[in-house]
A and B are shown apart, each in its own frame.
Chain A
Amino acid sequence: MNRYFRELSVAGALVLLLALLGIVAPQFFEPQPLLSRLTAQVPTLVLTIGIAMVMITRQIDISVGSQFGLCAVLAGNLLTGGLPLPLALPLAATAGAAMGALNGCLVAWLGLPSIVVTLATMVTWAEVLRLTQQGRFINLPAGVQWLGLSQAAGQTALLAASLALLAAMAWLLKNRSGGRHLYAVGSDAEAARLSGINPKATTFWVFVFMGALAGVAAVCNLVQSPQVDPKCGTGLELKAIAAAVVGGIAVNGGRGSLWGAFVGLLLLATINPALTFLHVEAYWEKAIQGAVILLAVVADGIRSRRNAS
């Protein structure tokens, strides 16, 4: 029971918040707006899955927002140029994977700290995007939005697909040795090496996969509106990291679960609309996000110091 204390307390907080909303602002639960709000979180969820995996391996990637934006613009332009929709996903994923590979090379093979590497790639990709796109929106062809289905159907499809991805990745992390390697490397890379695991390869592939997921997330976002906003990725890395940290993923690696990160995302995603319903203004969002990250990290820090003594 104690092993999942962290994740369960976050789930408990979520339940409490939902209960509070149920009493004070029941209109929060109106089906159609709720579905829309949930679907709007799908891209962040996909990013969170990737970021959680990166953090479990004891790394970090703050370039995912830029990767996201670049993939979105790339896919958008290709679609406008006539690319069939089913190809958009693999192409975006490949582009993202390529960007992730750059991160992976620098971190895994050159041993550079991931924070600084991804800080540099974050700005590089963001500026490449700004240079090429110049802030212009891309108008997507008909049939792209909601995958050509009705809004409700499209939203349900997206939600279902992302939850399926979450379940699949969570299962892989738990039940495939490759998944367990992430935990081993994040826990103690040297011990992992002595057990026959290749920490450098593991680290490299985790960044590549993160990039691919950024591409997938970009497409998930792209099909939700008739236009692509080149600034769509701004700040998403922080949202994903916040969700992971709140959900129990340890910055020092080796610990945490995707389901926990998912609950963390739900909690954070509920706080914002809850604030609206409680008549707190939207411009508090970033401050609250930062405060939540700090609270989660400080609480973890206090707990581990108490356990150590």
Chain B
Amino acid sequence: MAHSSRSLKAQLLRHDVLLLLVLALEIAYFLNFARNFGTPDNLSNIVRHSAEIGLLALAMMPVILTGGIDLSVGSLMGLCAVLFGVLTHDLHWASLPAASLTVAAGLVAGAFNASVITLLRLPPLIVTLGTYSLFRGLAEAITQGTKTYRSFEPAFLQLGELRPAGLPLQAWILGVGALGFYVLVHRTTFGRSFRAIGFSPEGARYAGLPVLWRTALPYLLAGGVAAVAALLFTARLRQARADAGTGYELAAITAVVLGGTSIFGGTGTVYGTVAGIAAIAVLNNGIGRIPAVLKAGIGGELASLLTGALLLIALAAPGLSKLLQSVRKQSTLPASANPSPSPTH
């Protein structure tokens, strides 16, 4: 029916608009009430500090688009960071080969998730809950719970400092990542099949799509991206620790859901995810700069709290509005009849 799909479009647009509105409000608020929020220095800080979560969110988006979830990306960051530390410090590898092996390890971890989920048809939730524990556990075991790797090759640490063409390197990497995922999700047949699988795995199968491979791909990518995020994180903080990336999976999922991707799969946009990342990054940064918050030193906690609350609201909103709509529409539809869509002709 003509207007049901137009109103679907209208709904989507509304979500994007709302998100941008939230983002604008945040920025306006912080410009007024947070100290030094609008300075170019701070703005570049926002980007630098959100690169890792941003990358994870971008990788998480296709996973959720196919109707799955990956809770292990934050832990994998920790494991990859530690792995990099071991390679460069204990085995004295040069940074580049160590980084390459780290990314390869991330891909292997992603492939592990992918194969258990697709081949054994196990729920992604419990599999990635297990790897969430396993990966972090391995990181802790390798570092014996305490070890921190500190000194790295200056060339590597440059990653945290470089400013090609005036913009922090993280901005470039995030930009490339966003572009890459945009192309993947919106401009390739892979992305098309992600959506199809998210809406109806059976329907996708009947259309001859390679459902198993396409379901596995997002998890594989998420593994690789987590490794890259770990490298960026390590370069920026100048240390590699087992607790790298703690809680990042939540921020990533929040950014994705906030950005309009349905938690049930099928619908979602990469630019929505980018807007979600921006909303969270701005929130994290701005909150810590409000004088009262700064004084009390509770910036981090408040930001995480608001992120959690934001996720709840983002989750509940579509459901609530649908509930309200159906209450309004309590009409005389019999409980049973096969509903026939009204013909367009």
Real binding pair = yes
Using a CB–CB distance below 8 Å, which chain A residues touch chain B?
60, 62, 106, 109-113, 115-117, 119-124, 126-128, 130-131, 134, 238, 241-242, 245, 251-252, 281-291, 293-294, 297-298, 301-302, 305
Determine whether the beta carbon of B132 is less than 8 Å from that of A290.
yes
Determine whether the beta carbon of A127 is less than 8 Å from that of B144.
no
Nearest opposing residue in chain A for B313, CB measure: A120
Residues of chain A with a CB closer than 8 A to B105's CB: none
Determine whether the beta carbon of A130 is less than 8 Å from that of B315.
no
Of listed B141, B145, B250, B302, residue having the most chain A CB within 10 A = B141
Complex Cα spacing A50 to B131, Å: 23
Residues of chain A with a CB closer than 8 A to B253's CB: 116, 119
Complex Cα spacing A288 to B141, Å: 10
Determine whether the beta carbon of A293 is less than 8 Å from that of B126.
yes
CB distance from B42 to the nearest CB of A (A): 23
Nearest opposing residue in chain A for B75, CB measure: A290
Determine whether the beta carbon of B308 is less than 8 Å from that of A297.
no
The segment from B6-14, B115-123, B204-212 found at the interface with A is B115-123
Known: A115-B69, A287-B134, A294-B116. 20 other contacts (CB 8 A): A110-B319, A110-B320, A111-B319, A116-B69, A116-B311, A120-B315, A121-B312, A123-B307, A124-B308, A124-B312, A127-B308, A238-B133, A245-B126, A251-B123, A281-B144, A290-B132, A293-B134, A294-B130, A301-B120, A301-B122
A119's contact among B136, B144, B250, B302, by CB below 8 Å, is which?
B250
Q: Tell me if B294 counts as interface (CB < 8 A to partner A).
A: no
A sample of 17 cross-chain residue pairs with beta-carbon separation below 8 angstroms, ordered by A number, consists of: A62-B129, A110-B316, A110-B319, A116-B263, A117-B315, A119-B253, A123-B308, A123-B311, A131-B298, A131-B301, A282-B145, A283-B144, A293-B129, A294-B116, A298-B120, A301-B116, A305-B120
Complex Cα spacing A147 to B69, Å: 44
A127's contact among B71, B302, B320, by CB below 8 Å, is which?
B302
Residues of chain B with a CB closer than 8 A to A282's CB: 145
Answer whether A286 and B315 are a contact pair too, CB < 8 Å, given A116-B253, A116-B263, A298-B116. no
Residues of chain A with a CB closer than 8 A to B134's CB: 286-287, 289-291, 293-294
Answer whether A251 and B130 are a contact pair too, CB < 8 Å, given A124-B305, A284-B141. no
Q: Tell me if B96 counts as interface (CB < 8 A to partner A).
A: no
A286's contact among B127, B133, B312, by CB below 8 Å, is which?
B133
CB distance from B167 to the nearest CB of A (A): 31
Determine whether the beta carbon of B301 is less than 8 Å from that of A127.
yes
Complex Cα spacing A284 to B141, Å: 5
Determine whether the beta carbon of A110 is less than 8 Å from that of B140.
no
Determine whether the beta carbon of B315 is less than 8 Å from that of A305.
no
Q: Tell me if B203 counts as interface (CB < 8 A to partner A).
A: no
Complex Cα spacing A124 to B136, Å: 22
Nearest opposing residue in chain B for A110, CB measure: B319
Nearest opposing residue in chain A for B304, CB measure: A127
Q: Tell me if B21 counts as interface (CB < 8 A to partner A).
A: no
Q: Tell me if B135 counts as interface (CB < 8 A to partner A).
A: yes
CB distance from A119 to the nearest CB of B (A): 6
CB distance from B204 to the nearest CB of A (A): 20
CB distance from A60 to the nearest CB of B (A): 7
Determine whether the beta carbon of B133 is less than 8 Å from that of A113.
no
Residues of chain A with a CB closer than 8 A to B133's CB: 238, 242, 286-287, 289-290, 293
Q: Tell me if B309 counts as interface (CB < 8 A to partner A).
A: yes
- Over the window 257-280 of chain B, the binary record of Cβ atoms lying under 8 Å from chain A Cβ atoms (1 yes, 0 no) is 100000110000000000000000
Answer whether A298 and B305 are a contact pair too, CB < 8 Å, given A120-B315, A283-B145. no
Determine whether the beta carbon of B316 is less than 8 Å from that of A112.
yes
